[in-house]
Structure 1
Amino acid sequence: MTVQITARQFHEADGVEDWRSLYHLVSAHFRTDSLAEGIALVDESGQLASEDEQRHLSVDLRHAGVTVSLSRRDIELARQISAAARALNIPADPTAVQLINVTLDVLVSAKVLPFWRALLGYREISDTYLADPACRGPAFGLQKMEAARPQRNRMHLDIAVPHDQAEARIAAALAAGGHLVSEAHAPMWWVLADAEGNEACVATWVGRE
């Protein structure tokens, strides 16, 4: 069994230029002109993946594109899927890659995690993280806070984007009326807010190695 690798090690490998690390996964988006094109790429990806790799392979198929997600350790499979896409004349678009998490600030995660697990019907990944077993909805995370904040929102979105797209995404959000709350943890994450103070984080893999 291949040992897990860091995001930096993945990106330093050859032949993975189409792929971007988002937390523990790597993803690539391929633009298509029809559902038939996407199905052809999905079929090819399934045939390329070993039985073990298929357990970590996730595919989102739409008329306009296919998003493929893998474990970071599956470097060779990433190369092969990119090669298959090129052979099918399906271009990669790294700017379309992202991952959305809903994050709730809590004092004691053990007290609230069972409620959210039952309410969402999600699977427990860790004592602070839940995931949709059907991969339909965003993941749900708990983030510890030191003291209650009754006058501040306690739930926010985490938007994981490719490391080379973060500044453009932040600039677009600021131009759309948002403001920067904190960049103390950048480039791991930036905290932004809308005009009414509702917060969201833009996150990258950098600093998570």
Structure 2
Amino acid sequence: MTDKLTRQAASEALPTWRFLLQRMHLTVRAADAAAAFDFVARVGTVAAAHDRQLDVDLRAPVVHLALSTRAGGGVTDDDVALGRDVDALVAELGLASEPGSLTVVEIAIDAMDIDAVRPFWDAVLGWDVIRRDDVQDPLRLGPAVWFQQMDEPRPQRNRIHLDVTVAHDEAAGRIERALAAGGRLVSDSRAPAFWILADPEGNEACVCTWQGRDPVPGA
């Protein structure tokens, strides 16, 4: 594994890509769904030749790619080499980068006692704590949750909560783990549609399922 590049070096090495949150991102738009699938298949062949992986999100006809070296915590020369071969493929197919469509969202939770709050969010989201003590989706589908240290409580500010939608048969286990991690049950009056939970400092999350939402026949 090669050393991690600086943000500037990574950006200059792959000018059609964009550096967002420790990864290089590229979005292209194919002519149609079939062309998008063909592009993804050919990207897979290129990645296999490098013996490397990259994240692929296909929303036909739009394809989003992201690459980094997880073990290195950022972008390396190996990533750049793969990115350049992907660029050659993009040029060959007559596609173009669409950097204006790139957005990566993180969720910040302000807390007085981060060590007490973090396990709740790790449990209720069902993710992993990875690097910098963020709670991150191991599949990289959802936004990372990070924690900002507060010097004093701020009641009645940032009145938001997260809706965490899970498979109906996962909800009970997810709630159990969140409660065991220091959370508390605020309300189950709308279960099984959703349960309202809170972390040790009162930040809330609703664990949601599809159940209990369909109209009742004859009602």
Which interval holds the TM-score relative to the shorter structure?
0.5 to 0.7
Pairwise mapping of residues 127-146 of structure 1 onto structure 2 (< 5 A)? 128-146=133-151
- % of aligned pairs identical? 35
Matches within 5 A, 1:89-108: 89-108=94-113
Cα distance, 1:156 vs structure 2: 9.5
Unaligned runs of 5+ in 1: 158-209
Q: Which has the higher contact order (CA 8 A, sep 6+)?
A: 1
Structure 2: where are the runs of 5+ without partners?
69-74, 163-219
Counterpart contact for 1:106–1:142, Cα < 8 Å: yes
Question: Counterpart in 2 of 1:204?
Answer: none
Aligned-pair distance for 1:4? Answer: 1.0
Partner of 1:53: 52
Equivalents in 2 of 1:44, 1:84: separation in Å?
8
Alignment of 1:38-187 (within 5 A): 38-50=36-48, 53-54=52-53, 57-71=54-68, 72-73=75-76, 74-126=79-131, 128-153=133-158
Alignment RMSD (CA, Å)? 2.0
Output the CA distance in 1 between the equivalents of 2:12 and 2:157. Answer: 40
Residue 127 of structure 1 and its aligned partner are, at CA, apart by: 5.5
**Residues 11-22 of structure 1 aligned to structure 2 (within 5 Å):** 11-13=11-13, 16-22=14-20
Q: How many residues align?
A: 153
TM-score under structure 1 length normalisation: 0.67
1:9-59: per-residue Cα shift (whole Å, max 9, x none)?
Answer: 11222xx221010111110100122222121221122111256521xx111
The equivalent of 1:35 in structure 2 is 33
Shift of 1:128: 3.0
Q: Is the contact between residue 114 and residue 149 of structure 2 (CA under 8 Å) also seen in structure 1? A: yes
Q: d(CA) in 2 for partners of 1:112 and 1:52? A: 39
- Please say if residues 19 and 94 of structure 1, whose CA atoms lie closer than 8 Å, have aligned partners that are also in contact: yes
